[in-house]
């Protein structure tokens, strides 16, 4: 039960964060500022947990270097996932980012030098056809930068997840995750300071939105690791499919943002393809 609650709470928290980000941007801040706060808070929370549970935060060089490498795409993920909402609708940003599950499947298949099954290829075709349908309807009315940010965050997440699956079993996963988050936070801070891109909110709603995003994401990400520990990665990943659904519903409730008929059909194809892919993978594992 703990694993299911953790996975569902993670999905709801991350899905809400994407929608709440709109308040932060309307209040005058930007993606870099939100990403720096989010990453810094995650470092504090995970570091505090490690110290409270008696873990040593130091890592040997053989483990620290891979964590450093994996922290770089994590910085891109932290920035692009939220910053996209500054330029494109919330629902579209959430679904573009959520293309990472099929990308992970393709990456794992390539590393294993195997061809995906017919069912997996069908799932991939459905997911990307739905994405193409959404983009075909939206491309002329949305900012290309928002699309690029969401997709770059998806690719960065794919690289981080595939790499983490091979690196984290070598040591304490919480301590290694803390080092990845620390690298991401330092990179984002460097970009913000050198680029002079820190813009604090100008309204109470902006401050609430910025801290809301940071708290939701920093507290939700560790819950995914809790879920994996209790119910395994396959079931945890399946439950995370709620993330874009929560974002779309929250966008409607908070901002009256509604997907058009073709966009809704595309969204259903994306989510259906991802679920079919994960179901096929679970069946193969069994």
Confidence of residue 281 (pLDDT cuts 50, 70, 90): low
Residue 55 is predicted with a pLDDT of 92
Q: 226-231: which pairs have CB atoms within 8 A and are 24 or more residues apart? A: 226/2, 226/3, 226/6, 227/3, 227/4, 227/6, 227/7, 227/10, 228/3, 229/3, 230/2, 230/3, 230/4, 230/6, 231/3, 231/4, 231/7
Query: Which has the closest alpha carbon to 228: 6, 67, 43?
Result: 6
Residue 239 is predicted with a pLDDT of 67
Q: Domain ranges in the chain? A: 2-285
Highest-scoring range by mean pLDDT, 3-17, 115-129, 152-166 = 152-166
Whether the predicted pLDDT of 250 surpasses 80: yes
Confidence of residue 73 (pLDDT cuts 50, 70, 90): very high
Residue 257 is predicted with a pLDDT of 79
């Amino acid at each position: 039960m703990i694993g299911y609650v953790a996975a569902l709470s993670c999905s709801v928290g991350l899905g809400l964060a994407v929608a709440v980000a709109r308040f932060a941007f309307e209040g005058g801040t930007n993606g870099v500022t939100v990403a720096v706060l989010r990453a810094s808070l995650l470092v504090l929370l995970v570091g505090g947990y490690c110290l409270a549970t008696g873990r040593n935060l130091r890592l040997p060089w053989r483990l620290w270097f891979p964590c450093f490498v994996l922290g770089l795409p994590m910085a891109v993920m932290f920035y692009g996932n939220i910053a996209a909402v500054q330029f494109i609708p919330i629902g579209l940003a959430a679904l573009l980012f959520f293309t990472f599950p099929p990308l992970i499947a393709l990456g794992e298949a390539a590393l294993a030098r195997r061809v995906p099954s017919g069912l997996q290829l069908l799932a991939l075709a459905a997911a990307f056809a739905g994405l193409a349908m959404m983009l075909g309807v939206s491309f002329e009315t949305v900012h290309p930068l928002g699309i690029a940010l969401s997709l770059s965050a998806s690719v960065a997440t794919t690289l981080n997840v595939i790499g983490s699956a091979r690196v984290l079993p070598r040591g304490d996963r919480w301590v290694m995750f803390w080092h990845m988050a620390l690298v991401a936070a330092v990179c984002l801070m460097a970009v913000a300071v050198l680029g002079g891109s820190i813009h604090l909110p100008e309204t109470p709603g902006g401050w609430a939105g910025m801290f809301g995003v940071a708290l939701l994401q920093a507290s939700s990400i560790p819950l995914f690791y809790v879920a994996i520990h209790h119910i395994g990665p396959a079931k945890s990943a399946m439950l995370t499919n709620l993330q874009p659904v929560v974002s779309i519903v929250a966008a409607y409730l908070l901002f009256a943002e509604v997907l058009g008929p073709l966009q809704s059909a595309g969204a259903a194809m994306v989510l259906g393809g991802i679920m079919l892919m994960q179901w096929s993978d679970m069946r193969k594992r069994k």
